[in-house]
Structure formats: C-alpha cells, structure tokens
Amino acid sequence: MAKQSKSKNSPAYAVETELVIGGRDPQHSYGFVNTPIVRGSTVLSQTVAELEAHAGRYTYGRRGNPTTEGLEDALTQLEGSAGVVLTPSGLSAVSIALLSVLGSGDHLLMVDTAYQPTRRVCDVVLKRYGIETTYYDPLIGADIAGLLRPNTRAIFMESPGSQSLEVQDVPAIVAVAAERGICTLIDNTWATPLFFRPHDAGVDLSIQAGTKYLGGHSDLNIGTISGNARVFGRLKATHGDLGITVAPEDAYLAARGLRTMAVRLARHQESGLAIARWLAGRAEVLRVLHPALPDDPGHSLWKRDFKGASGLFSFILKPVPKAAVDGFLDELELFGLGFSWGGFESLAIPFDCTPYRTATRWQPGGPAIRVHIGLENTDDLIADLTRGFARLATLS
C-alpha cells in the first residue's frame, strides 16, 4: 500500500501535510522521493490495438506526463477543485482561463485593479475576437448587478488588487453571478489557496501566477488554472485544443516550491506585517496599503474571507520630489529593484496607476512604492529602509 494520500477533494490531512505528500508516488519513481523530470514527446504502445485505443496512461508529451500530472494532482488537492491545468506563465493562465469561458459576442466584466497586462488581454486580444470588456470598481460588491448585460458571460476578480491592494467582496459578486449563470474567475496570486480558497467561495476558475509563491525562488515562469466541476471540462478542452504545455523542468521546480510553500508564506506574512507596521510609524509615510492592518479600508473583508496575508504590499510617501523617491530606492541594498515577486528576496518598485485605470481614479496623495518582503531578517530590512529614508531626507 502506497504511503500517500490518493484522495481527491477529501483531504485526509492538514494542508501543510498535503503540500508535502501531494502528487508524489515514490513507489513508481524507483523509490526516489521526488517525481522525476520526465522529458518526452512520443509515448510508445506495445501493439496496434493499444495504440488505436489510446489505452496507455500517457499518449503524447503535449498531453501530459508524470512530472506535470503530479503537480496538477497536488494543486487540485490544494485548491479543492475538479482539476488543474498548467500554463507557461501567469499571464497565459489569465488568457487561457478567459478564452475557455468566452466566445465572440460575449461581454466580460473585469476589475479595474487587475494586473496591468491582464488589461491588454482584454483590450487587444479579446477585443479582436469580438469580446467586449467593461471595467468595474473593485469596491462595487453586489452593485455589480447594475453592470450586467444580457450577453455578460464572465466576471473576473483580483483581490487584493494589483499594486493598490483593494479587497473585493468576492461572495457578494459570486452571488450575483450565480443567479444568472455567469462564470466567475479570480486571479488569486496574492493569497494563494493557502490564504484564500476561491472555490470554497463559489468561484469557478482560480488562477495563480505560479511564478510568484508557488515557485518561490524567482527562477521560473508558470501559471495554474483550477476549475470546479461546472467549468473544468471546458477549461481542459480549451487548454488541450490550443496545445498549451509547460516544460517538465518548470513543473518540477514548481512542485519543489509547493513542498515549502506553507512555511515560506507564514514567514512572508509575519515579516511583511512587521515591516508594514514599522513603515506606518514613519513620519515620511502617508499611508500603508496592507489589508491585514486594522485601519486598512479592506481590513474587514480581508478578515472575513482570508486566512492570512502574503508579503506583498504598498505604501504612499508624503509628497516629495521624484529625485527623493529615486534616491530612497537606489539607496536600498537588500531590496532589489525589479518586477515580479513571491521569491525569497525582498523587492521594491515605484508605481503609478493613473495612466491605465479607467473605472476608478488613483489619487494616493503622494508617491507610491510597492514592496515584497522576502525571507531576510526583518531587522536587516528595517536598517536598509532606514538608510533609504536618510537618503530621501537629503533629497527632499
């Protein structure tokens, strides 16, 4: 008897344990702990009859192999869904999820605070195929009913919002959608299923940029889409028909990330909150945008719906010249200047949502900075930020 939980959707163990055992089968990996990296396109059959019946467990490399399937199984368990498909990046997970539920002539409601490249999927690609997008305020809640049209087929959420961290009332939006049979999707990259389980809230498609916390080491791009029983068939078919595959090396790295995800996220949460509280006490800082802080506008929804907070948040400086903000960021040694996040290392970027938001107005009252708090010692991070603020003072 295999010493593994093979149960789907009936977790025998706590989530931390499932992360460790899910999607591995040492008995069939020559005893090795990890599912090996299986490379290959062709899968051979013993006889014509077997070939013609597609009788083998695997039929063709593009259709999956033990490495990708192991990761999909572990993620299916984590999401509590009917199944998961893998895509080559987080953005392709967004686009394939949308393509799997929308068709020509359909109308899409997209949250205004979505990850910016998601907007281009809508404004450029979906538009070309005759799908119209309306952006909505992330704080709209049940009032989203007022934006529905007869051809509204899908509502896309991202909570908290990219960069500005607004928390959406997901259950209220799902309730409106369910009444009309409208499909709901969420980009759940910030929380991961460890801190928010979209399917438990009734969301049909749950998307993760696995590039972030799943991978966790800033060394791969991968996306995951999880579907409930209502939509998984359509998702799986669209994914297969479009010929989407991921490299087995990337699936392997993502599976390795999965094993430590719970401990990493616990630390990202703890350190993120420590730095957020410290920043909130600084004279240079106007506001900290972090839903786990009690005075954040999204705090009550966050507290109701989420089990935790990850290490990504933003803060607004009191007005200073751009040169002072740049000097602050340039001075930092431990915080790298770079896009993406979710790795073991801390990052910081300046941002401005003004040029691209269309349903809401971004008026933060000062320069905005987004930080990802990594796994470094928080005293070291605070010392680094303190040096940055000293530099900022000389340039203000």
Ligand X SMILES: *Cc1c(COP(=O)(O)O)cnc(C)c1O
Taking contact as CB under 6 A, which single stretch among the options 90-98, 261-269, 351-359, 386-394 is the one that binds ligand X? Answer: 90-98
Residue 179 CB, nearest distance to ligand X (Å)? Answer: 28
Binding residues among 22-41 for ligand X as defined by CB under 6 A: none
Among 91, 121, 167, 244, binds ligand X (CB under 6 A): 91
Taking contact as CB under 6 A, which single stretch among the options 209-217, 344-352, 357-365, 371-379 is the one that binds ligand X? Answer: 209-217
Give the whole-angstrom CA distance, residue 306 versus residue 289. 16
Among 101, 139, 185, 209, binds ligand X (CB under 6 A): 209
Site membership for ligand X, residue 79 (CB under 6 A): no
Catalytic residue among 112, 187, 204, 296: 187
Residue 57 CB, nearest distance to ligand X (Å)? Answer: 29
Cβ atoms 121, 95 nearer than 8 A: yes
Give the whole-angstrom CA distance, residue 373 versus residue 74. 26
Amino acid at 368: A
Q: Nearer Cβ to ligand X, position 5 or 340?
A: 340
Output Rg (C-alpha) for the chain, integer angstroms: 22
Taking alpha carbons only, the member of 306, 67, 351, 35 closest to residue 194 is 306
Taking contact as CB under 6 A, which single stretch among the options 4-12, 86-94, 127-135, 264-272 is the one that binds ligand X? Answer: 86-94
Residue with tokens 């941002």: 351
Q: Hey, how many other C-beta atoms are within 10 angstroms of the C-beta on 284?
A: 18
What is the per-residue binding string for ligand X in 223-242, x denoting contact by CB under 6 A? Answer: x-------------------
User: Hey, what are 280's tokens?
Assistant: 């909130």
Taking contact as CB under 6 A, which single stretch among the options 89-97, 125-133, 142-150, 178-186 is the one that binds ligand X? Answer: 89-97
Give the whole-angstrom CA distance, residue 106 versus residue 138. 21
Site membership for ligand X, residue 115 (CB under 6 A): yes
187 is catalytic: yes
Residue 122 CB, nearest distance to ligand X (Å)? Answer: 13
User: Hey, what are 236's tokens?
Assistant: 């799986």
Give the whole-angstrom CA distance, residue 222 versus residue 34. 19
379 is catalytic: no
Cis before residue 160, ω within 30 degrees of 0? Answer: yes
Q: Nearer Cβ to ligand X, position 213 or 335?
A: 213
Cβ atoms 267, 375 nearer than 8 A: yes
129 is catalytic: no
318 is catalytic: no
Among 221, 238, 245, 269, binds ligand X (CB under 6 A): 221
User: Hey, what are 166's tokens?
Assistant: 């607004």
- Total binding residues for ligand X by CB under 6 A? 15
Site membership for ligand X, residue 90 (CB under 6 A): yes
Q: Which residue is nearest to ligand X (CB)?
A: 90
Contacts of 365 (CB under 8 A, 6+ apart): 286, 287, 316, 319
Question: What's the start-to-end Cα distance of the chain, in Å?
Answer: 68
Q: Nearer Cβ to ligand X, position 21 or 368?
A: 368
Catalytic residue among 6, 8, 39, 62: 62
Give the whole-angstrom CA distance, residue 275 versus residue 53. 59
Give the whole-angstrom CA distance, residue 184 versus residue 15. 25
Q: Nearer Cβ to ligand X, position 79 or 158?
A: 158
Site membership for ligand X, residue 305 (CB under 6 A): no
Residues that bind ligand X (CB under 6 A): 89-91, 94, 115, 158, 162, 187, 189, 209, 211-212, 221, 223, 340
Which residues are annotated as catalytic? 62, 115, 187, 212
